[in-house]
């Protein structure tokens, strides 16, 4: 890559990030969602599960039944060695139940950032000027993708670190050792989250380049959350337990999907096509 290409990509990244940080309607949801689903809710549930008499709460009987099924099926053998229901439910919540929630964070952030890329340029009437700059289309797309990928990964990783600190603080008195993270979390954060972010970004770049406005692009891109809801439900009921091999395979599938989407992006989004889509 030539130096001028690096400078162009850096300028695009800074430009797109500034356009997001200058709008409270864009950056506020990107902070509130991780704060709620990645820190506040998991921390509150872990704190309650570690201190409350679980049998006094009727709604938790479903969770306790799920844990019994997991013990009987041998999917989580560690649960069988624990002496109290509080230990079992804290272990399940802290190391397994909340993991799928962390995929919502990069999906949400990536959707907002990439919906604001080409669709936002169209609304601001700046796309045409961008297309007639000397930079190549390859450089343009690299800048747009990195402008969404870098913030979404940083947001996911910072949320993961904060959650990990809180989880260890709450779990240490119960188990007498640091429990977080396990292999599921390490693979999720270092492999699945980056590949998921990249796939969602490329899909949203493709959508954003075709539609005419930010809201339309964001709504279409937000449909990616639906499979995650099913994944969370499966994990909560014990019907689908996410393990290291499943996570490795999921990341590989997402990476392959990204390769396919990248080819579609480069094939369908020519300079003339993008210029015509703004008319």
Q: pLDDT tens per residue, the chain (279 residues)?
A: 444 777 878 888 888 888 778 878 778 888 898 999 999 999 998 998 887 765 555 555 666 677 777 777 667 777 778 878 788 888 888 888 888 888 889 888 888 888 777 666 666 666 656 666 666 777 777 888 888 899 999 999 999 999 999 999 999 998 889 989 999 899 999 999 999 999 888 888 777 666 655 555 556 556 666 667 666 666 665 555 678 888 899 899 999 998 998 888 776 555 445 544 444
- Predicted local distance difference test score (pLDDT) of residue 161: 96
**Nearest C-alpha neighbor of 26 from the set 152, 112, 114, 121:** 112
User: What 8-state DSSP symbol labels residue 53?
Assistant: -
- Predicted local distance difference test score (pLDDT) of residue 54: 57
Surface-to-core class of residue 5, CB atoms within 10 Å of its CB (0-12 exposed, 13-18 middle, 19+ buried) = middle
- Predicted local distance difference test score (pLDDT) of residue 11: 82
- Predicted local distance difference test score (pLDDT) of residue 279: 45
Calpha distance 67→62 (Å, rounded): 9
- Predicted local distance difference test score (pLDDT) of residue 62: 62
- Predicted local distance difference test score (pLDDT) of residue 45: 87
Q: How many CA atoms lie within 13 A of 235 on its CB side?
A: 20
Please enumerate, as own/partner, the contacts of 209-215 that have beta carbons within 8 Å and a separation of 24 or more: 209/118, 209/119, 209/265, 209/268, 209/269, 209/274, 209/277, 210/268, 210/277, 211/119, 212/119, 212/122, 212/277, 212/278, 213/119, 213/122, 213/123, 214/115, 214/116, 214/119, 214/120, 214/123
- For the chain, how far is it from start to end, CA to CA, in angstroms? 33
- Predicted local distance difference test score (pLDDT) of residue 133: 67
Tokens of 211: 């539609």
Tokens of 202: 């490329």
Tokens of 95: 């190391």
Could you tell me if 265 and 141 are in contact, meaning their C-beta atoms sit under 8 angstroms apart?
yes
Tokens of 246: 């499943």
Could you tell me if 269 and 208 are in contact, meaning their C-beta atoms sit under 8 angstroms apart?
no
Contacts (Cβ under 8 Å, ≥6 apart) of 162: 38, 39
Contacts (Cβ under 8 Å, ≥6 apart) of 152: 105, 106, 109, 110, 113, 197, 201
User: What 8-state DSSP symbol labels residue 22?
Assistant: T
């Amino acid at each position: 890559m030539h130096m001028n290409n690096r400078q162009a990509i850096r300028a695009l990244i800074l430009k797109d990030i500034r356009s997001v940080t200058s709008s409270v309607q864009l950056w506020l949801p990107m902070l509130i969602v991780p704060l709620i689903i990645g820190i506040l809710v998991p921390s509150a549930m872990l704190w309650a599960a570690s201190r409350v008499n679980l049998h006094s709460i009727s709604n938790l009987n479903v969770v306790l039944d799920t844990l019994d099924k997991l013990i009987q099926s041998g999917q989580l053998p560690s649960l069988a060695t624990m002496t109290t229901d509080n230990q079992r439910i804290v272990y399940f919540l802290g190391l397994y139940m909340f993991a799928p929630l962390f995929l919502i964070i990069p999906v949400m952030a990536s959707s907002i950032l990439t919906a604001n890329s080409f669709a936002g340029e169209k609304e601001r009437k700046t796309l045409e000027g961008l297309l007639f700059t000397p930079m190549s289309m390859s450089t343009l797309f690299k800048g747009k993708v990195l402008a969404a990928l870098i913030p979404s990964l940083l947001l996911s990783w910072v949320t993961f670190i904060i959650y990990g600190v809180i989880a260890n603080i709450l779990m240490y008195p119960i188990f007498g050792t640091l429990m977080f993270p396990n292999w599921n979390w390490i693979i999720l954060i270092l492999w699945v989250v980056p590949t998921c972010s990249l796939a969602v970004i490329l899909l949203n770049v493709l959508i954003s380049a075709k539609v005419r406005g930010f809201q339309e692009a964001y709504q279409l891109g937000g449909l990616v959350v639906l499979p995650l809801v099913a994944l969370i439900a499966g994990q909560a009921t014990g019907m689908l337990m996410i393990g290291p091999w499943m996570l490795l395979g999921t990341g590989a599938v997402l990476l392959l999907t990204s390769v396919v989407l990248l080819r579609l992006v480069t094939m369908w989004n020519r300079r003339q096509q993008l210029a015509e889509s703004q008319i």
